[in-house]
Structure formats: C-alpha cells, structure tokens
C-alpha cells in the first residue's frame, strides 16, 4: 500500500479532504476494485497520444479536487472518436473550467476508455455517528434519485450480506435481465461490494466514498466514476 499511502499523504500535506477521481480510482484499483482504465494528462499533446494509446472512443474529464460534480461544470466529454475531437474537447473543457472556476486547482484531465452501455449501479459509503461506516447499494441514474431504491448494511459485510443487499432493491429484476436485456453479473457485484467493505475497513481515513456509476455487464463490472472524501 505504499503508493496508496502516498496519495493520502499528498492530500494531507495539501490540507484537502477531496481526492480527485483519478486518485480515488488509484486507491480502489489497489484494493482490487475494478475501475475503468484511467490516465492523468497535463497537455493537449499528451491528451492526444494517451487517447491513441488507449484506443478510441475515449472519455475526457477535468481532474481537480475543487470540482466534485464534473458534468455539471462542463468537465466531461463522452464518446471522443479521434485525435481532432480529443484536441477540441481538451480546449473546450479547459476554457470552460477556467472561466467558471478561475481559482480551481487543476491537476489536468483524465483520459478513460469509453465503456459500452451497461446496467448502471452505485455503491456508496458514509459514516454514521453511531454505527460507523455504512454501505449503500442501488441502481444508478434517475432510478436512485427518483425512487430512492437503495439498500444499506453496516461494515464489515460478508458475501452473503452483499447478496442480500442486491436482492433487496426493488429494481433487482432489472439486474437479472429484464425483457431480453443483458443481465448484470450478480456474483461480481457481490464481490465488488465485499471489496469496498474491506477497503473502507482498512482505510479509516476515508469519510465518504461513491462509485457512481458502476457499469454492470454479464461478464464484468467496472466503476467509471469514483469519489473519495477524507476525514478532516
């Protein structure tokens, strides 16, 4: 966990409690939690070369500890298909962010593989004053906002608890493959939730965690966005 410690130390030194998506994904990756391949870049040239290296289509996102809601800030571009589009998206994101948040600290941009559409789910952790870390599982997108269709368990959880969390939500039939749609790999989702439980148990510095969304397929699950907030 040396590199993981380095990320936490850097945030502590800079007196910030927000980890960027990139930093959050690095910690998660080391904990064995599947995240989409994500690189940090600092220049337009690097954006283009890394995009080519990953293979189009890619996603570009602003990387800043001061910008927590990236889409709302004009900081996310999906489905970038070639070098010209990557170059344009780099300029557009940077100028939009500099205009809206002139004092934001910018680490650069992330370039990510564009994941194909899957069933969107979310896993979160927040700390309850009485019970400590509590995990949440739900369907992503408008379903979670509109229906509050989520389940909760106190950390640490077993694989059996994770299985129950998944089956408890009303949207469970969607995960099983509704009307011929591709199902989600439930076993891999259970595994992911257990790994998140272990990770937060072993990292008490974490105050809040959000994997929103995770894309679930029949043979794979992968978090495409991650946010970690540290204790102050």
Q: Which residues bind ligand ADP (CB under 6 A)?
A: 36, 59, 61, 69-71, 76, 78, 112-115, 213, 224-225
Alpha helix positions (H), 56-127: 83-100
Name the phi and psi angles at 14, rounded to 5.
-85, 5
Residue 114 interacts, among Mg ion, ligand ADP, none and using kind-specific CB cut-offs from 5 to 8 Å, with: ligand ADP
Report in angstroms the alpha-carbon separations of 10 from 15, 101, 184, 231.
9, 22, 37, 14
* 142 contact partners, CB below 8 Å, separation of at least 6: none
- Which CB, 36 or 144, lies closer to ligand ADP? 36
In the chain, count H helices and then E strands. Answer: 8, 11
**Closest by Cα among 191, 147, 145, 142 to 165:** 191
Residue 122 interacts, among Mg ion, ligand ADP, none and using kind-specific CB cut-offs from 5 to 8 Å, with: none
- Which CB, 168 or 217, lies closer to ligand ADP? 217
- Which CB, 89 or 157, lies closer to Mg ion? 89
Between 212 and 231, how does the x/- string for binding to Mg ion read (CB under 5 A)?
x------------x------
Q: How far is the CB of 60 from ligand ADP (least distance, A)?
A: 10
Give residue 69's Cα distance to chain centre.
Answer: 12
* Residue recorded with tokens 């509050």: 148
Between 164 and 203, how does the x/- string for binding to Mg ion read (CB under 5 A)?
----------------------------------------
Residue 24 interacts, among ligand ADP, Mg ion, none and using kind-specific CB cut-offs from 5 to 8 Å, with: none
Q: How far is the CB of 114 from ligand ADP (least distance, A)?
A: 5
Task: For residue 171, give both structure tokens.
Answer: 């949207």
């Amino acid at each position: 966990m040396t590199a993981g410690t380095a990320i936490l130390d850097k945030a502590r030194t800079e007196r910030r409690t927000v980890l960027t998506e990139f930093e959050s994904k690095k910690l998660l990756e080391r904990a064995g939690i599947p995240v989409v391949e994500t690189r940090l870049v600092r220049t337009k040239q690097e954006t283009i070369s890394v995009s080519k290296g990953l293979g189009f289509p890619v996603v570009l996102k602003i990387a800043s500890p001061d910008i927590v809601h990236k889409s709302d800030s004009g900081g996310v571009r999906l489905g970038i298909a070639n070098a010209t589009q990557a170059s344009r998206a780099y300029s557009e994101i940077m100028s939009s962010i500099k205009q809206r948040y002139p004092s934001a600290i910018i680490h650069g941009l992330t370039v990510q593989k564009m994941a194909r559409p899957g069933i969107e789910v979310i896993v979160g952790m927040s700390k309850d004053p009485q019970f400590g870390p509590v995990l949440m599982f739900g369907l992503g997108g408008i379903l979670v906002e509109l229906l509050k269709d989520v389940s909760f368990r106190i950390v640490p959880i077993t694989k059996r608890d994770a299985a129950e969390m998944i089956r408890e939500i009303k949207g469970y039939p969607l995960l099983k493959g509704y009307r011929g749609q591709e199902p989600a790999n439930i076993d891999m989702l259970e595994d992911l939730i257990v790994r998140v439980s272990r990770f937060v148990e072993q990292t008490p510095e974490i105050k809040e965690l959000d994997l929103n969304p995770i894309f679930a397929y029949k043979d794979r699950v992968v978090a495409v966005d991650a946010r970690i907030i540290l204790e102050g």
